[in-house]
Amino acid sequence: MPEGHTVHRLARTFDQLFAGHALRMISPQGRFADGAALLDGQVLVAAEAWGKQLFLGFGGALAPTGTTAERWLRVHLGLYGAWTFASDGSADVVHAIGAPRKRVGERETVPAPELSDAGDPQGSRASDSSPGVGEWAAPAPRGAVRVRLLGAHAVADLTGPAACEVVTPEEKAAVEARLGADPIRPDGGHASLDAAREAFACRVRRSRVAVGQQLMDQAVVAGVGNIYRAEVLFRAGVDPLRAGRDVPASTLGAIWDDLVVLMRDGAATGAIVTTRPEDRDAALPGFGPPVAGLPDDGSGRGAPRAGRRRTRQNTDGTPGAVPPDEAFYVYHRDGLPCRVCGAPVLTKELAGRALYWCGTCQA
């Protein structure tokens, strides 16, 4: 399931590609035909994210940017949802943002559609799916597209969402009221970041539920998923199975501050990197590629053995980027040596999700 930083990147992408433009909205799959009809031809006036919820606000057909939205499209991608983008070449766009199975890489751009022998862009003609938006021909929908948003220069297709509905401003506010503070929002979704920090700490300390489980509760903190949960608890040295009420408020405040930094960095770069430079493989004796004939260096860490390192959210190929295998401390590193103490990284199921931690550093 995409984490909160991905949804904030989505909001920014919609703002950059479509803000202020009247959009054609259809449901190629047909399951959202009534909702699409309500917003078809409306102007996108706002794009917001709160945790894992994406809200696209629409005004009237001639509404200027900044106008208060009359209706909102609420989308929650869930486990399998994704947005796929294409443009006419006038703007660089990501190919896909969403479910890891569909993700190509958040920094990958899509070139202008190729011309067919007849001189027309390959795919469906603009006149077929969006009369009056110009000569550009958007590519035909692929797969079960729930919603297609088509502008003059770009198209966005939504597939497989857990939730997709048209809501009023009041209904949007009710959804937000059920969510916890969002570390990426400028004010955390509260009066200030300090207020959001305090609300988060108070919410966790009200319950005896394990802090590792609470961090995955969107009513406690919005946008944190399995990766950020595992990594921020490791960085804080907190046992994920410790009861929330037993974690000091100062420690929870530090966890919140760390989430603000890590998740905003993820929203800016499109990659989750939680390791400090000094803890990455190249900086640690015993973590480099094993060399035949050389003894262990005595660090106690040893060379890494085979294990799962499914870190596709970091495989963007950007020069100078942290390699995927060095991006995390514990997530999907079960059985591998802890980057700090060398003890094997542990895993178990907690509330239906895999939990990763170091039993020594997080005692």
- Residues with catalytic function: 2-3, 52, 353
Q: What is the 3-state secondary structure (H, E, C) of 267-332?
A: HHHCCCCCCCHHHCHHHCCCCCCCCCCCCCCCCCCCCCCCCCCCCHHHCCCCCCCCCHHHCCCCCC
- Residue for token pair 């989430």: 259
Strands 154-159 and 96-98: unpaired
Q: With contact defined as beta carbons under 8 Å apart, do 244 and 205 qualify?
A: yes
- Cα gap 36→25, rounded to integer Å: 5
Q: Which residues contact 123 (CB under 8 A, 6 or more apart)?
A: 113, 137, 138, 139, 140
Type of residue numbered 279? D
Burial (0-12, 13-18, 19+ Cβ within 10 Å), 118: exposed
- Cα gap 209→233, rounded to integer Å: 15
Counted residue by residue, the chain has a size of 363
Q: With contact defined as beta carbons under 8 Å apart, do 16 and 52 qualify?
A: no
